[in-house]
Structure 1
Amino acid sequence: MTAIGHSPLVRRWRAAATRFTTPLLPDDYLTLVNPLWSARELRGRIVSVTPEAEDAATIVVEPGWGWSFSHAAGQYIGIGVQIDGRFVWRSYSLTTPPSRDGRRLVVTVRAMPEGFASRHLVHGVRAGTIVRLAPPAGEFVLPDPLPGKVLMLTAGSGITPIMAMLRTLDRRHGTGSPADVTVVHSAPDADRALFADELVLLARRHPGWRIVQRHTRVEGHLLLHEGNPGAGRATGSSPRATLEGLVPDWRQRETWACGPTAMLDAAEKAWADAGIRDALHLERFSADLTGGEAEGGTITFARSGRTVDVDGATTVLEAGENAGIPMPFGCRMGICHTCVAPLRSGAVRDLRDGAEARVAGTDQGTRAVQTCVSAASGDCVIDL
């Protein structure tokens, strides 16, 4: 991509303007006029925060100067919000179809109990707040043309990227959608179910769509295969629903699944056992970082000239962000490799499986490591 701040014309203008504005840079004057005018970073202004449930809200962001990125339904963007004097970055799925003018970005955020940023976005942020943005990314998208039969399997906030897909199909085809789409969505109860009313309306508009909404506190978790932990009966006397019972032809459907780790792990096993793993597309919101344990240590960010002491549970990405370093990132789960940085010396440990990456010293070259899933294993130097 070519950001507006990197075009030859803008570079010449900034160079000339800098000679007349030192010690301030041109961006400093631009942001005094309009905080969304920046050639150095992508910014946006929060237009509205609308509660969706007790612990969730839909946030509309107006992107500023330099935002020229279209997105596909199912992709996510990065949002950096200032909390206690520092910017905290998180990625959220866009919930609306790609707009014609790109002037509105919409995400629906659920406040997680341990979610420092998500709780602030749902309960603390106000309209008018300036945020930083990262362009759309992610491979969890629908192909064109659409497969003949589609299954969308979601739980909790995993419905958010699926809503973008459903809204896109609805806008593209209206009430005449030829798609054979089955959606199975689980939420704890009606009070925490996102988009429940809209899902009902979409099912009415499209005779070929079947949308099943489940409440797990009453009906229990959907059993994707008989080996599910806790298989048996839900609250009361009724047996738990199975995927086989709800969607008998699930093996013939291309499937997009998003939700809690346990559900996605169970889906991977069920599809693998059926010999159709390639027909399953997953979107995970968090990485399982319980497979490894790091010692912690001192991380030196060589190019930024900053050094931080961290424990073994703090990733290199988090350490850099906490120190105010502009760290590259994407999915924050070790999938997209956007966060890869050179390890110049020392060692880091992958918190997913405990694998260690080590470089003996600066004369031994560097080694690429994923900062979002790696933590310091003793003192180390990162070339950022």
Structure 2
Amino acid sequence: MVGLIDLVQTLTTPHPLDRYLELVSPALTARELRAEVTHVSHAVPGSVTLTLRASRQWRGHAAGQYVQIGVSINGVRHTRCYSPIDPESRGDRYIQLTVKAHPGGLVSNYLHEHAKPGMVVDLAPASGVFALPEPRPEKVLLVSGGSGITPVLSMLRTLDAEDYAGQVTFLHYARQPEMVPHRAELTAIATRRPNFRVEYRYPVEPGTVVNGETSTGSGFFDYDELERVAPWFADAQTFVCGPPPLMRAVQTIFDAEGLQDRVHSEEFTLTTVPADPAEATGTVTFSGSAVAAENTGAPLLEQAEAVGLTPEYGCRMGICFSCTATKVSGCTRNLRTGELDADPDKQIQICVNTAVGDVDIAL
């Protein structure tokens, strides 16, 4: 079959076979992985749950992994990463994603407002090391906050589907009860399985007026909370996904307890090493476009856009590798790690690298 596809691909040159197949149906492909939206739900305010049917190239996902979804908005392709909420699968072509419409989130708001059955999106194979290990641990603690619920929900649903006999605690932080996605299912799982414990917390900032009284603050993650929900946490494997403050709070406690190897985290926000614009020097040259500008210290992607270029990009946080370009010469600094790189003719991700002095990028 592969040989036949290669032959047809040759005959359809210069355009790939999939360009012709999509004229018949956008979801019909020979090589490229795509998915069709089959169902859309807005059960939770500010979020949308999409059911997708992937093309035959889909090979499933491990609980906790993420996929890249690509959509075209105003003629420009954008890619973002979302975690399936389904139980771990190896063959089922249906995938569920719950997407929170973040303020200023281009793709999340587009999906929230415009996704409907029949819509076709680009899809990449599942990726990421944030996943339930094999064999399963004897005790599992799942901690999430906000939209970080999605990968750990997949883990919980996987353990439920496998009739997991160990101890599980699922602790989720949300602004209010109605903001918890799939709460009815979580309740049903906890009711059905006595070894599964599901807890919710709704943090209140100090000074907030609640029921006519000024709160001193409650509902935040700390050591006492950890002891309450999972006193056996030192013997468990812990998986956490959520806002940076929650991630840091969990990591700090586990570090203090010497349990760094027992906590695993996933986040889709970009944590950068700050760049001081006042210290930026040199000129950034985009030699492929014969454009040059004074270095501002911003990510090279942003500097390219500032001079009118439109390089391809996806996640803008160093995950999807859509914005990879060749650094012809000069030194760059990785904004996530602070690492310097002066090797010439090297592929770099321009969304998470900035210039250190004169740099030439082949864009």
- Cα drift, residue 102 of structure 1: 2.9
Q: How far apart, in 1, do the equivalents of 2:158 and 2:304 lie? A: 38
- Counterpart CA distance in 1 for 2:227 and 2:261 is 19
Per-residue CA distance 1:278-337 (angstroms, 9 max, x = gap): 0000011212136234659756385xx7979796544539969x966566x7x8645798
1:102-121 residue pairs with structure 2 within 5 A? 102-121=92-111
- More off after superposition, 292-301 vs 279-288: 292-301
Q: Is the 8 A contact 1:256 1:281 kept in 2?
A: yes
Structure 2 residue 55 is matched with structure 1 residue 64? yes
Could you tell me which runs of 5 or more consecutive residues in structure 2 were left unpaired when the two chains were aligned: 208-214
In the aligned structure 2, how far is the partner of 1:56 from the partner of 1:43? 22
Q: Is the 8 A contact 2:269 2:317 kept in 1?
A: yes
Match of 1:123 among 113, 116, 120: 113
| Distance in 2 of aligned mates of 1:48 and 1:326 | 29
**C-alpha contact 2:274 2:335 (8 A) present in aligned 1:** yes
Determine the C-alpha separation between the residues in 1 that align with 2:183 and 2:206.
17
1:211-230 to structure 2, matched below 5 A, reads: 211-217=198-204
How many residue pairs match? The answer is: 348
- Asked whether the 8 Å contact 2:148–2:242 carries over to 1, the reply is yes
* CA distance in structure 2 between the aligned counterparts of 1:151 and 1:17, rounded to whole angstroms: 52
Contact kept, 8 Å, 1:43 with 1:131, in 2: the verdict is: yes
In the alignment, structure 1 residue 300 sits paired with structure 2 residue 283: no
Query: For the residues of structure 1 that align with 2:216 and 2:32, how far apart are their CA atoms?
Result: 53
TM superposition shift of 1:98: 3.6
TM-score (norm 2): 0.82
Secondary structure at the counterpart of residue 126 of structure 2: strand
Answering whether residue 5 of structure 2 is matched by residue 10 of structure 1, we say yes
Among 336, 348, 355, which residue is 1:369 paired with?
348
- Structure 1 residues not aligned, in runs of 5+: 221-231, 360-364
Selected match of 1:42 from 10, 33, 56: 33
Q: Deviations over 1:114-163 (max 9, x none)?
A: 21111111123332222111110011111122111111111111111111
Matches of 1:184 and 1:36 in 2, distance apart?
38
Counterpart of 1:226? none
Could you tell me the TM-score, scaled by structure 1's length?
Answer: 0.78
RMSD: 3.6
- Percent identity over the alignment is 34
Residue of structure 1 in register with 2:181 after alignment? 194
Question: 2:244 matched to which residue of 1?
Answer: 261
The equivalences for 1:1-384 within 5 A come to 7-18=2-13, 26-39=17-30, 41-64=32-55, 67-99=57-89, 101-173=91-163, 177-217=164-204, 233-234=216-217, 242-289=225-272, 291-293=274-276, 298=284, 300=286, 312-314=297-299, 316=301, 333-334=317-318, 342-352=326-336, 354-359=338-343, 365-367=344-346, 369-376=348-355, 380-382=359-361
Alignment partners' CA distance in 2, 1:102 and 1:289:
37
CA 1:357–1:284 in structure 2 vs 1: closer, same or farther (change >3 Å)?
Answer: same
Contact 2:332 2:340 in 1 (8 A): yes
